[in-house]
Amino acid sequence: MTSFDLRALKLRSGEQFQDEVEVQLVPLEFGGQRYLPVPEQVPAELRATQASTGTVFELSFVGRLHGPCQRCLRDTAIDHSVSAREYHASAPDADEELRSEYVADHNLDLSAWARDALVLDLPVQILHDPDCAGLCPMCGKDLNDEPHEHEEEHSDPRWGALEQLREQL
């Protein structure tokens, strides 16, 4: 896990610290699937700006995730650019909403912050191609390789009365 020691920052109000850091990304679960960051260590730009009531942190990096397409299960890699911002109030009695959950004991947990920022910025579905056809629900074949249709199955006879009603309408 990568963390940054905030005691090294000696900023006055309005001053800014900027540095390039290596952030360790961890594997994550998304949509019931496991995705691995490749590489695990990514270069990131960390900025800290001292405000009169606290510190604004900014983290920017590009992460690459490898895992399955969520429609057809093909091996997929996506590159995602992340830019995240956090505020942490200086006063110890400040409202909890004004204190960053990534700051504890004068350390900024960059790995946890990077993971959360990456997940929050991901698309709804990770697909190998935006037009992915997925898997056939009947036979399980990949519809991207073998587009096909199955003959319509006969309906369950227990639904016959409802079928007759539908035909009358």
Domain boundaries, the chain: 3-120, 133-169
Rounded CA separation 22/72 (Å): 33
Q: What is the average pLDDT score of the chain? A: 90
CA-based torsion, 96, 82, 64, 80: positive or negative: positive
C-beta of residue 98 within 8 angstroms of C-beta of residue 87 = yes
39 three-state secondary structure: coil
Q: Round to the nearest angstrom and report the end-to-end CA distance of the chain.
A: 64
Non-local CB neighbours of 169 within 8 Å, separated by 6+ positions: none
Among 7, 38, 17, which residue's Cα sits nearest to residue 104?
7
Report how far residue 120's alpha carbon sits from residue 113's, in angstroms, rounded to the nearest whole number: 11
Confidence at residue 151, expressed as pLDDT on a 0 to 100 scale: 80
- Please identify which residue in the block is written with the tokens 């020691």: 5
pLDDT of residue 153: 65
Instruction: Determine contact, residues 46/21, Cβ cutoff 8 Å.
Output: yes
Across 20-24, 95-99, 127-131, 149-153, least confident range: 149-153
Q: Round to whole Å and give the CA distance between 119 and 116.
A: 5
Torsion sign (Cα): 63, 101, 46, 52: positive
**Predicted confidence (pLDDT) at residue 14 exceeds the cutoff of 90:** no
Structure tokens given for 94 = 């400040």
Least confident of 74-88, 90-104, 145-159: 145-159
**Sequence-distant (≥ 6) Cβ neighbours of residue 71 within 8 angstroms:** 125, 127, 132, 133, 134, 135
Within 10 Å of residue 143's Cβ, how many Cβ atoms? Answer: 17
Write out pLDDT tens, residues 83-103: 999 999 988 788 888 989 999
Write down the pTM of the prediction.
0.78
Write down the pLDDT at residue 154.
66
Mark out the alpha helices in the chain (DSSP H runs). Answer: 110-120, 160-168
